[in-house]
């Protein structure tokens, strides 16, 4: 099949390219706009308590107002607020209200909004939208800060704005334009590395242009699929798509070009060499893409909408990349022929591959030693997983000098940290009757006694009287681990158990949402990872026609996953002293290290199988597979790792963790697992690794050298049509 695809794409390049151009223009023109959201509630299933609370709010308290941000006032000298100061707070709040900022309904304070110690005063900034990430609201928060500076000039006060909307603004500004940074870094790395490898400006630029077309097509297909299926795309999908498309796309193009170049070196005509390259590596590329697609589609089993929507989007992107690698790429290079390599003449002579040759020779000569050392390294690094702690406090990752962070610390000098975003407890009558006022007052007293609760507001009844709302102010910041533990533990347990007869209690708010997300994520780990592993094993079994090889390949992948996560724990928790790691980090490592990194295992193992089929002994097959696969794997891994490594330059520690984990994990997968551990394990297992697919293989032809091992200097490249890449 892949031979036919290669012959068609190479033989009819103009038709193939025209089809892609027409499809790209049509899709980009007709596809709907991609809609994204940052609202965590929209990504949780309806059975979670925090989601049910949201529905109760909409139904029973449609006019409820929750501050999107809070203005924190204090004296410039840090002393107690005087009577004049308190009056100035009211006047500044009124002045900000008079500005009528877009998406801000009101800015209000009161004489009572002063801390018990008399040092801090607050003003609530109420928005007309619930989404704290709304772009127009963000602009208004910036304007409000600027306007406040003018209003404060003739006072002894200073003011900072904190809360959800202010934190969102500061997080966006501190991270900079992450998408643009990732895109620029990716382009520079791809172009530079390809130029170094092939010493050709055309090959350095063409993959970028090809993948750009693929990016446009994939984005349009994802938007169309989302519109038709009613899916919602997480706002972070664009940055991830960039890395997936350029990372995976470059991998597949490199797989093909390295094979094409080696075929040319055996003397094949350009078109025949390219067509044969597609036939030879087409199955490998398809299997690698299939493994990645299966891993991404396993996210459909997630209970979180964020991951469920991400899975199909990424799968579509990889599917488009696969089709482009087998059709568009060969068509473009068919038109160029050997001119694509200009001005380099390296395609005309056999490379020395000195370093790769030494690694391959060592792996073939000392498989037990190499397997023990590489496996031992991964085991040591994986031990760090035992100390992994999930961190849901995304605010703690922000630089400490941001206004929202500083203002939050100032607020805590006079109020409880939970003042900015209270947790809400609702009592709901089961039969729709009115709730008893005496029982409501008694219930308020029970909530106040919970350790970690600072204040509880008097109950506010709905219009029908069948629902009552309590605002519960915690002593901790809403996103802090202690707040999440309190809400998911004592607060919810007590609220449920103490509910008066005939009523039920539900706990909601930002902290409750995070508590439910923690539960959902833990559930997803148990569902998604095993399903993805099983799917990848099936694909490997079909590719290799083997039952044994997929088992130890997946075990090595699991070890690589553990080593990646463990290394991140060692660095950030143990060395830097962080409280924990980004709670989505295991999923991110799974997406990029396990799924995409499996490409490298597939490439080297497919090459091993090919060499075995061509009559090589297991040792010689290992040497040849590593020698010829190492340059491809190394180049692809450095591009992908370098792209993520750029995130370590960000000031946000969560982005730093993501950047390090994926970059280091990809390098581990490529240089330790794919080049060392997997080939040596295959060598040690021998022909049994290919059972039952080795039954019809030709017997191995013993090469020259001791124990069937051919010395590196004695290898001569083949010149027949089965020449390896």
Residue 125 pairs in a beta bridge with 69, 107
Cis peptide bond N-terminal to 7, omega within 30:
no
Mean pLDDT within 50-55: 85
Tens digit of each residue's pLDDT (9 = 90 or more) over 567-577: 999 998 888 88
34-61 mean pLDDT: 72
CA distance 724 to 614: 10
CB of 527 within 8 A of CB of 304? Answer: no
Using 50, 70 and 90 to split pLDDT, how confident is the model at 701?
very low
Tell me the pLDDT band of 668, cut-offs 50, 70 and 90: very high
Give 591's contacts (C-beta < 8 A, 6+ positions apart).
Answer: 240, 295, 296, 314
Neighbouring C-alpha atoms within 13 Å toward the C-beta of 610 = 21
Most confidently predicted of 229-233, 538-542, 699-703, 710-714 = 538-542
- At residue 451, the pLDDT reads 92
Gyration radius of the chain over CA positions? 30
Q: Is 715 left (phi over 0), alpha (psi -120 to 50) or beta?
A: beta
Q: Give the residue among 372, 353, 280 at the shortest CA–CA distance from 630.
A: 353
Q: Per-residue pLDDT averaged across 45-68, rounded?
A: 79
SS3 of 425, please? strand
pLDDT beyond 80 at 669: yes
Average pLDDT over residues 661-675: 90
Residue 397's pLDDT is: 63
Q: Which residue has the tokens 């500076």?
A: 149
Q: Half-sphere exposure of residue 596, counting CA atoms within 13 Å on the CB side?
A: 35
The residues pairing with 157 across neighbouring beta strands, listed in sequence order, are 75
Element (H, E) at 160: strand 157-162
For residues 306-310, give the mean pLDDT: 74
pLDDT band for 492, please (50, 70, 90 cuts): very high
> What was the pLDDT predicted at 719?
35
Percentage of the chain with pLDDT > 90?
18
Statement: residue 213 has pLDDT above 70: yes
Burial of 126 (0-12, 13-18, 19+ CB in 10 A): middle
Q: Tokens 């009592």 sit at which residue?
A: 427
Cβ neighbours for 648, distance < 8 A, ≥ 6 positions apart:
655, 656, 659, 660, 663
Per-residue pLDDT reduced to its tens digit, 345-390: 766 666 666 677 788 788 888 889 988 999 999 999 999 988 888 8
Task: Report how far residue 297's alpha carbon sits from residue 532's, in angstroms, rounded to the nearest whole number.
Answer: 8
Q: What is the pLDDT of residues 121-168, one digit of tens each?
A: 999 998 888 778 778 888 999 999 999 988 998 899 999 998 888 888
pTM of the model: 0.75
Mean pLDDT, rounded, for 25-48: 68
Check if the beta carbon of residue 420 is closer than 8 Å to that of residue 162: yes
Band of residue 34 on the pLDDT scale cut at 50, 70, 90:
low
- For the cut 70, the answer to whether the pLDDT of residue 411 exceeds it is yes
């Amino acid at each position: 099949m892949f031979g036919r695809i290669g012959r068609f794409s190479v033989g009819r390049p103009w038709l193939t390219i025209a089809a892609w151009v027409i499809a790209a223009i049509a899709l980009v023109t007709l596809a709907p706009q991609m809609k994204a959201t940052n609202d965590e509630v929209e990504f949780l299933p309806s059975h979670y308590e925090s989601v049910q609370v949201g529905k109760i709010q909409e139904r029973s308290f449609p006019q409820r107002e929750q501050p999107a941000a809070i203005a924190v006032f204090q004296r410039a000298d840090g002393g107690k607020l005087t009577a004049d100061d308190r009056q100035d707070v009211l006047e500044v709040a009124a002045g900000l209200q008079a500005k009528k900022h877009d998406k801000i309904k009101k800015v209000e304070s009161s004489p009572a909004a002063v801390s018990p110690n008399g040092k801090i005063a607050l003003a609530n900034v109420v928005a007309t939208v619930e989404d704290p990430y709304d772009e127009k609201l963000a602009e208004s928060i910036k304007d409000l800060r600027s306007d406040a500076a003018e209003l404060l000039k003739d006072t002894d006060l200073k003011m900072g704005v904190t809360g959800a909307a202010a934190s969102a603004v500061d997080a966006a500004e501190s991270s900079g334009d992450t998408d643009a940074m990732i895109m620029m870094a990716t382009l520079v790395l791809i172009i530079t590395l390809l130029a170094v490898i092939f010493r050709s400006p055309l090959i350095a630029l063409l993959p970028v242009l090809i993948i750009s077309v693929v990016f446009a097509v994939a984005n349009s297909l994802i938007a169309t699929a989302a519109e038709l299926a009613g899916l919602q795309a997480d706002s972070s999908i664009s940055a991830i798509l960039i890395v997936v498309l350029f990372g995976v796309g470059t991998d597949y193009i490199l797989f093909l070009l390295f094979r094409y170049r080696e075929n040319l070196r055996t003397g094949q005509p350009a078109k025949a060499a390219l067509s044969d390259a597609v036939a030879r590596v087409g199955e490998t590329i398809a299997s690698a893409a299939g493994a990645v697609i299966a891993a991404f589609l396993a996210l459909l089993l997630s209970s979180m909408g964020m991951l469920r929507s991400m899975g199909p989007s990424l799968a579509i992107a990889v599917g488009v990349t696969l089709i482009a690698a087998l059709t568009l790429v060969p068509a473009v290079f068919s038109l160029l022929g050997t001119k694509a390599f200009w001005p380099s003449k390296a395609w005309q002579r056999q490379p020395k591959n000195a370093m790769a040759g030494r690694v391959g020779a060592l792996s073939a000569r000392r498989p037990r030693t190499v397997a023990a050392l590489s496996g031992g390294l991964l085991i040591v690094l994986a031990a760090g997983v035992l100390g992994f702690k999930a961190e849901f406090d995304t605010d703690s990752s922000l630089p400490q000098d941001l206004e929202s962070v500083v203002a939050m610390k100032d607020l805590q000098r006079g109020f409880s940290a939970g003042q900015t975003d209270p947790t809400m407890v609702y009592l709901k009558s089961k039969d729709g009757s009115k709730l008893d006022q005496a029982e409501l007052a008694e219930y308020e007293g029970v909530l106040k006694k919970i350790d970690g609760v600072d204040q509880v507001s008097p109950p506010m009844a709905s219009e029908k009287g069948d629902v009552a709302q309590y605002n519960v102010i915690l002593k901790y910041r809403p996103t802090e681990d202690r707040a999440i533990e309190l809400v998911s533990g004592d607060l919810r347990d007590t609220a449920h158990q103490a509910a008066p007869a005939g009523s039920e209690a539900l706990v909601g708010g930002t902290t409750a949402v995070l508590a439910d997300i923690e539960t959902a994520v833990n559930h997803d780990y148990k569902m998604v990872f095993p399903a993805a592993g099983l799917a990848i094993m099936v694909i490997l079994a079909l590719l290799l026609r083997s039952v044994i090889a997929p088992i130890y390949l997946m075990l090595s992948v699991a070890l690589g996953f553990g080593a990646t996560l463990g290394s991140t724990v060692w660095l950030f928790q143990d060395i830097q002293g962080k409280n924990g790691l980004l709670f989505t980090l295991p999923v991110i490592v799974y997406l990029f290290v396990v799924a995409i990194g499996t490409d490298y295992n597939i490439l080297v193992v497919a090459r091993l199988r090919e060499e075995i089929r061509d009559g090589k002994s297991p040792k010689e097959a290992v040497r040849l597979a590593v020698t010829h696969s190492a340059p491809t794997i190394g180049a692809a891994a450095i591009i992908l790792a370098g792209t993520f490594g750029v995130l370590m330059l960000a000031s946000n520690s969560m982005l730093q963790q993501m950047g390090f984990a994926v970059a280091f994990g990809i390098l581990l997968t490529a240089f330790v697992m794919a080049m060392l551990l997997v080939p040596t394990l295959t060598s040690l297992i021998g022909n049994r690794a290919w059972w039952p697919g080795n039954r019809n293989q030709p017997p191995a032809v013993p090469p020259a050298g001791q124990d069937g091992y051919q010395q590196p200097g004695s290898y001569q490249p083949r010149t027949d049509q089965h020449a390896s890449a």
